[in-house]
Amino acid sequence: MSAISDMTLYVGLEILNEQNIFGAVMHLYNMLQQIDGGCKRIPILEELRNVFKSVVFAGGQEPTKDFANIFELFCGAKIHKKLGNARAMLTEAPREEPRTAFCKDQKISMSKMNLSAAISFHNFYTPDMDFWTKLIDDDKFTRKFPKLTSYEELFARYSPSELVRRARDVLRPEYEGPFPIARLNCFAVLDLCTEILIAIARRFKELGSAAWPPEYTRSPGFSNVSEVQRICIKSAISCLRLTMTDVVVEQAGCKNKQDNRLRERPPVVIMRETIMKVCEGKNVEDFLWKDV
Residue 290 has pLDDT above 90, yes or no: no
HSE value, Cβ hemisphere, 13 Å, CA-based, for 194: 15
Phi, psi of 89 (to 5 degrees): -125, 160
Residue 123 has pLDDT above 80, yes or no: no
Provide the pairing of β-strand 79-81 with 88-90. Answer: antiparallel
Reduced to 3 states (helix: H, G, I; strand: E, B; else coil), residue 90 is strand
Give the model's pLDDT for residue 270.
94
Contact 121, 6 (CB under 8 A): yes
Q: How confident is the model at residue 54 (pLDDT cuts 50, 70, 90)?
A: confident
pLDDT digits (tens, 9 = 90+) for 208-230: 888 888 877 665 655 444 445 66
Residue 290 Cα distances to 109, 175, 185, 285, angstroms: 28, 12, 9, 9
Residue 93 has pLDDT above 50, yes or no: no
pLDDT digits (tens, 9 = 90+) for 25-37: 999 999 999 998 7
Radius of gyration of the chain (CA): 22
Q: Evaluate if pTM is beyond 0.85.
A: no
